[in-house]
Chains A and B, each alone.
Chain A
């Protein structure tokens, strides 16, 4: 006799979702047996626009609009690809400033994710608390770049604004504050019953599966897989500013939260090192020529590896821009995690992935 199953969709519009995505769960009683997903609800044709509407020097600003949260990683990846093609060598100071903003971005993105996991576990007060503290990071980002989001800070050949001593002081102050508060969250995430009940042992991904499904970013590191693009690339001096890879073993939602908290601490340390030891120099080197040939660049976005492929033909218009986003690469792992879990845990698990659908559909 065949067992009775029931299909329950979540999305494309759902109260627990921040962005449109559709999952179709086949459930047997409460347990999920199979998952089907569709992510293409916010397609905007950005890759096409990059090769037909905009010249190569403006595309850094176009791709920044792929995603509101990791805008900086997008424009940075594109810019580095173009710099590779043009053979532009940027100054050491500009490199450090780029890392500074990249890590600030990671801190606020991880805080956003943590707050949403709390919200989806029904812990609204914690959501408010983290979002309130996140303002400290937003404030320094605004001081540094002139805008809260969409920083438009990276340009081909360097960065757009210098770091003044007042801003540096403010960054130190605010980061110190964030550091203390993030240490406080650790206590909540490990000891608070309501969070533990919802998170511990739920949505686990084993190390083998993380490897098999090619998991990336915090998702993989929470399962103990040692992958972080910051460890593998040499366009920016991450190891010099104190980057240490964070990993955890459990692989469940709780481990993913803890990984994010650890990464926040590590990023704060990197930012402090940069602010305290910023070298002198120019922040901008004028690039020359038109991009010709192919370049492939990878960066660690807050959610995992982001890949840019750029092909130019010595004219102002590019031939191809291909963007592969972290959420897209993680979909096999996501789908695997859902299998065998309770349907009621879906929002919490989904929030712990920190999916970014506008990135994915671009």
Chain B
């Protein structure tokens, strides 16, 4: 009991444990699971990452002006939804060329605003995917 009183008293003079976020940034570990990044030049368009993704946050959809990559025979384009992604890393584990074509960074996604229309734009892609 006395111990607890002493502890309570000394706590009054301690620095707060909380961090004044966002004024003081929180240090991020380099292994922190963050955004998935894509290197188009190394991708072989095997679509394994798309199949492996549990929430379906990677979609390869047909495009009018495809990349110059010769592996891209079906004129597809990589689309990634950072707001749907759960950062599980399954796509990277499925990719035959991890680190070159697909890798996980420790970056955070930006805050989505209404103007970004993240949902609406993504629904369009999902519809295109279903139709193809």
Contact = CB atoms under 8 A, between A and B. Distances in A.
The answer to whether A and B come from one shared complex is yes
Nearest to B86: A61
Interface string B91-121: 0010000000000000000000000000000
Contacts of A54: 54
Interface stretch (B25-33, B36-44, B74-82, B122-130): B25-33
B23 interface: no
Interface stretch (A13-21, A186-194, A292-300, A326-334): A186-194
A279 interface: no
Given A54-B54, A125-B8, A125-B11, A152 B86 contact: yes
Contact of B89 (A59, A135, A150, A152): A152
Main SS class of interface, A: helix
A129 B52 CA distance: 42
B38 to A, nearest CB: 19
A4 B111 CA distance: 56
Nearest to B5: A192
A61 B32 contact: no
A150 B4 contact: no
Interface string B57-96: 0000000000000000000000000000011111001000
Contacts of B87: 146-147, 152
A88 interface: no
Contacts of A58: 53-55, 90
A132 interface: yes
Contact of A188 (B4, B11, B52): B4
A285 interface: no
Contacts of B53: 58
Nearest to A187: B3
A103 to B, nearest CB: 21
Interface string A146-162: 11001010010000110
Nearest to B104: A146
A143 interface: yes
Contacts of B3: 187
B24 interface: no
A232 interface: no
B33 A146 contact: yes
Contacts of B86: 61, 150, 152
Contact of A61 (B11, B17, B31, B54): B54
Main SS class of interface, B: loop
Nearest to B106: A146
A38 interface: no
A204 B29 CA distance: 45
Contacts of A161: 31
B11 A192 contact: no
Contacts of B4: 187-188, 192
A192 B33 contact: no
B1 A191 contact: yes
A152 B85 CA distance: 12
A62 interface: yes
B17 A152 contact: no
Contacts of B88: 61, 152
A145 B32 CA distance: 8
A142 interface: yes
Contacts of A135: 17
A64 to B, nearest CB: 9
Contacts of B7: 129
Interface in A133-190: 135, 142-143, 145-147, 150, 152, 155, 160-161, 187-188
Given A132-B17, A146-B33, 10 more contacts: A54-B54, A57-B52, A125-B8, A145-B33, A146-B31, A146-B89, A147-B33, A152-B33, A160-B89, A187-B4
* Those 8 A-B pairs whose CB atoms lie nearest each other, nearest first: A58-B54, A146-B33, A152-B88, A61-B54, A132-B17, A147-B33, A61-B88, A146-B31
22 contacts: A54-B54, A58-B53, A58-B54, A58-B90, A61-B54, A125-B11, A132-B17, A135-B17, A142-B32, A145-B33, A146-B29, A147-B33, A152-B33, A152-B87, A152-B89, A155-B90, A155-B93, A160-B89, A161-B31, A187-B3, A188-B4, A191-B1
